[in-house]
Every structure is written in C-alpha cells, then in structure tokens.
Structure 1
Amino acid sequence: MSENNEKKHPAPGSRRLRLQADCGNCYGLCCVALPFAASSDFAEDKAAGQPCRNLQPDYRCAIHSKLRQTGFRGCTVYDCFGAGQQVSQVTFGGKDWRRTPETAEQMFEVFPVMRQLHELLWYLDEALTKEAAHPIRKELLAALEKTQRLTEQGPDSILQLDMASLRTEINDLLLRTSELVRAEAARTWKGASPRRKSYGRGADLIGAKLRGADLRAANLRGAYLIAADLREADLRSADLIGADVRDADLRGADLTGALFLTQFQINAAKGDAQTKLPPALTRPEHWSA
C-alpha cells in the first residue's frame, strides 16, 4: 500500500493511537472550557470558560503529580480522545486563546463537540478491527470517513453539526457490530457454559456483587456499574459502551476483547496488575500494584 493510501485508509486500530490525548500540543482546553462543581472529584467550583487556578502560563498543571491527593480526582479520570490537540493545532491552526483572545469563546465551544466526534471515531475504528463485523464493514468505513471529514471542518461548521443525529446513526452500526461480535463469541464458547446476559440499556447494577461472574459476551451497554464488585469477573467480549464504572472494582477481572471500552471508563474504575485490559488501553497510575 502506498504512503498516500495508508494516510487515507489507516489500518484498523491504528487510528486510535491518534485519538489519545497529547497535552503538549493542547492549550489546556479541558482545564478552561469545561465546568466542574465541588464534589468528591473536584475540590472547588469552576465555571465553563474560566481557567482552572492550577493552569500555568505554559498550559501545564501546577499540581499534576498530586491531583488525587489535593481533591482533583476528576482530572485524572478525564480523557478527551485527542480532541484537545485537534482543536488547538488543526481547527484553530495553532492559535493560542491567551494570545488571540478573540478566538477563546469559540474554541471553548468547539472543544466538547470535537470530543464527541473523536469518541465516535474511537468506537468506529474499534468496530473495524472485529472480524465478526465483516458483513457491515463498508458501512462502518463510510461512517468513519464521514466523521473524520467532519473533524476537519472549520469552527463555524463544527458548531452547526447535528450531533444527536450523527450519534444515532453511528450507534445503530455499533449495536449491529456488538450483536455480530457477541454472537460469534458465544458460538466459540459453546459447551463452556457461556451465558449471553442482556441486562438492557441502563441496567441498575450499582454496588452489584458480581465477583467472579461469567459475563462473557454480556450486553452491558449503558449499565450503571458504579461501585460494583467485579473482582475476577470474566468480561471478555462484553459490550460496555457507555457503562458507568466509577469506582467499580475490576481487580483481577478479564476485560480482554471487551467492546467499546474507553480510557475514560478505565480511569474511573479500580484495578490492579492482574486486571487484563484491551491492548489500546493503558493501566492507570493510580491503580494498585
């Protein structure tokens, strides 16, 4: 494949390397554009568009090494899917909102929209890596290329996007991918007592006792797994898109091949060295050894 074709059609899975935050090429957008309220995740209130008091002139965090100890746990959980550097370096061509304050308001409005676009790219790129999704590969690729083009538009166009319609369109493809992948996984495990659990979107599993549970190929889309005990649980090929796993105990759990899992979710959960993660995700520094 030629270099130009590789850039136009990168190998499935490789695009996610570009959808990881590169704070060195971002103007601290998540520290300014987004609001937060005093809570267990944030030590104080901050309005949208107001720079965090810990943001330094070089856009680095003054307390980065001790965020969790000083009440800013939420900062260690957040992930922008690389939207920060896209908005800073591409959408606004490297313009610094401090030096060009006339761009600030629009830049802060574009950032959360770009994050949504990049999140959709993350899911679509993952879907394209699944052999079981081959029957809808052309549709997935078309959706990915369409979404990629949207990220390359100017700020005015980005702010006019109908994100609700786009998310609905792509979610249909992701749901079909999930069904294909989980059905294939269930066939593979036939005779090994796999149970394709379906809790329904938004299932209330807050604090659920699921230690050692066989959740292979389970449908956990949008499930509330806050503080759930998932120690040693088998979550291989489970669909976890949109699942809330804040403070869920994933120590020793097997998340190999878990569908549509993000770094944001992993950062919000608890785990250890025995937790098995998909290769595109990294083990958070705050997890136990």
Structure 2
Amino acid sequence: MRDTTADGAADTTADETADRAGLRGDCENCFGLCCVALPFARSADFAIDKPAGKACPNLGEDHRCGIHARLRQKGFTGCTVYDCFGAGQKVSQLTFGGRDRRTASREDARRMTDVFPVVRQLHELLWYLTEALTLPAARPIHGDLGRALETTEALTRLDPDDLAALDVPAHRQNVNVLLLKTSELARAGIGGRKKERRGADLMGARLKGADLRGANLRGAYLIAADLTGADLRGADLIGADLRDTDLTDADLTDALFLTQPQLNAARGSTGTRLPESVTRPVHWTPRL
C-alpha cells in the first residue's frame, strides 16, 4: 500500500512500479479464469461462441492456452487485447486459496465465475487510482484518492459471497467523482484550447496530426480513427474505445488513464510515444 503523509496525502515518491506490480495479469498464478468465467460471441474478435462459466476449448489441463502463440491467426484477437489487471491471480490465490475449478466444489466453481468479473472491475479502478496518486497536479485530493484506493483494495479481499453481492457500479460512481476531479486538475496546467469530446462518436475520424493536448476523450468511440502523428499529451483517455485506432507516430506521453488493453486493441509503431506505465504491444509494426 502507498505510504501517506501526516495530512493523509499520498507520497508520490513511492515506487510506482511496485504499486502496480499486482495490477498486471500473472497467468502463472492464475487458473485460466478469464478463459472460463467470461463469455464471448463469434465475431471479428472471437472464432466461436462461448457462454460464461464454460471453459474455452483451447484451455489445457495445465490452465494454459493451447494456441497462445497463434491466437490472432486462429481468430481470437479478442484474447490478445485482454488484461485482467491482476484480478486472475487475486481470485485464484487469495479469494479461493489456490483451489482451481477442477479441485473445488461445484458451488465454488460457480462462484469463481461470479466473482472474477467483480474483482477485475475493482482492479481496474485500482489501476486508475494508483495513477492518479502519481500526478502532482492532483495533490490537493491525494488524501481522498488514497482513502478510495484503500477502500477499493479492501473490497477485493472480501469473501466470495460478499464479492458476488457487491454493488460495483455504486462504488465505481464514487471513485469516478475523484477521477474526474483528477483529470480536471491535471489538464488545467496544459496550455491551449482543450477539446471536450467526452463520449463522442469519432469512429473512423480523420484526425491525423490533430492537436489533442489535454483533450477530454473519456469514453469516446475512436474505433478505426486515424490518429497518425496526433498530439495526445495529457489527454484523458479513460474508457476510450481504441479498437483498430491508428496511433502511428502519435504522442501519448502523459496521457491520462491509458491502459494496456486499450493499446493492445490499437495499431501503432515504434515511433508512437507512450507513458511509462504501459508497454508497446508486440504486434505493432515498425515505423517505415
């Protein structure tokens, strides 16, 4: 847990890498929960239909994907862009104490299906809160952010029945108030006219080279948009849909609340500049 100062404000000198270590998927310590608990439908992202609670046919006895190296070729692109934010190992090793669905009772196996998506949502909130606590501009509300982080972490450690009954939307709404304020404080220090495109339909938009510094793009639909060379420094991208978005040579330095799944769903190049909290997807093409 992040240290706090005497007035309750978070110590932003704490090691952010350590803070986020448990907020990245660790398949070695998970029992393939995403491959069982989550449903998917035959589409451009998935080659087959699968209901929630039924194991994917590609999941092996060792809880590993049998086609992991060939997911895109086999029509399972959706799997390559997914990340559980560390919820898989939390549910596997903590909530259910290392019991997998094969050794657990039928009731526990069912509860794993119910609990995993809940913890995944909470861990995504932990990712955002952890980032917010690193932003100097948000220091006036670091105390509130730190308390929200502690509360959210405590919720992830509830027993299975309490987790299944948790009102996640209500908690998310409370956290979102703080994240909105964080965004306002962080973007206030960015010069120029800031574009308000929250929830905007920008599918296929031609935004090559656009100046989007400090823009509010929360929940925007940027599917297949051309953001080649765009300046997205300090832009709020929480919940933005970046599927097939072209980020070639775009500058996302200090972009707010950008996640690995968003990047994995986009296209980019070695020239795309990214925040240190995320990694360049291996399928991105080199800059020509």
TM-score tier (shorter): over 0.9
The match for 2:75 is 71
The match for 2:60 is 56
The match for 2:123 is 118
Conserved 8 A contact 1:239-1:260:
yes
Structure 2: how far apart are the matches of 1:185 and 1:23?
39
Offset, 1:5: 6.3
Offset, 1:4: 11
Pairwise CA RMSD: 1.6
- Please list every run of at least 4 consecutive aligned residues from structure 1 whose deviation after the TM superposition is greater than 6 angstroms: 3-6
The match for 2:7 is none
The match for 1:196 is 194
Structure 1: how far apart are the matches of 2:189 and 2:149?
23
Identity of aligned residues (%): 62
Structure 2: how far apart are the matches of 1:203 and 1:253?
20
Conserved 8 A contact 1:12-1:126:
no
Task: Give SS of 1:173's match.
Answer: helix
Conserved 8 A contact 1:212-1:234:
yes
Q: Cα deviation per residue 1:78-103 (whole Å; 9 max; x = unaligned)? A: 11000000000011110111111421
Task: Give SS of 2:99's match.
Answer: coil
Conserved 8 A contact 1:257-1:278:
yes
Offset, 1:15: 1.7
Offset, 1:131: 0.2
Describe the shift of the 1:12–1:243 C-alpha distance in structure 2 as closer, same or farther (beyond 3 A).
Answer: farther
The match for 1:18 is 22
Kindly provide the amino acid, as one letter, of the partner of residue 31 in structure 1: C
Structure 1: how far apart are the matches of 2:20 and 2:253?
17
Structure 2: how far apart are the matches of 1:28 and 1:101?
17
Gaps of 5+ in 1: 187-193
The match for 1:147 is 152
Are 1:226 and 2:230 matched, yes or no?
no
The match for 1:235 is 232
Structure 2: how far apart are the matches of 1:17 and 1:279?
14
Instruction: Single out whichever of 69-78 and 150-159 deviates more from structure 2.
Output: 150-159
The match for 1:191 is none
Q: Cα deviation per residue 1:135-160 (whole Å; 9 max; x = unaligned)? A: 11100001000001111111111112
Specify which of 162, 170, 173 is matched with residue 168 of structure 1.
173
Kindly provide the amino acid, as one letter, of the partner of residue 131 in structure 2: E
Task: Give SS of 1:146's match.
Answer: helix
Number of aligned positions between the proteins = 277
Structure 1: how far apart are the matches of 2:206 and 2:275?
23
Structure 1: how far apart are the matches of 2:145 and 2:178?
7
Specify which of 231, 241, 244 is matched with residue 244 of structure 1.
241
Specify which of 104, 109, 112 is matched with residue 107 of structure 1.
112
Conserved 8 A contact 1:12-1:129:
no
Structure 2: how far apart are the matches of 1:159 and 1:50?
18
Structure 1: how far apart are the matches of 2:136 and 2:69?
41
Offset, 1:17: 2.1
Q: Cα deviation per residue 1:208-246 (whole Å; 9 max; x = unaligned)? A: 000010100000010000000000100000000000010
Offset, 1:195: 2.3
Describe the shift of the 1:144–1:12 C-alpha distance in structure 2 as closer, same or farther (beyond 3 A).
Answer: farther
Specify which of 263, 269, 276 is matched with residue 273 of structure 2.
276
Structure 2: how far apart are the matches of 1:17 and 1:249?
29
Specify which of 88, 99, 104 is matched with residue 84 of structure 1.
88
Conserved 8 A contact 2:114-2:164:
yes
Gaps of 5+ in 2: 5-9
Kindly provide the amino acid, as one letter, of the partner of residue 179 in structure 1: E
Describe the shift of the 1:218–1:47 C-alpha distance in structure 2 as closer, same or farther (beyond 3 A).
Answer: same
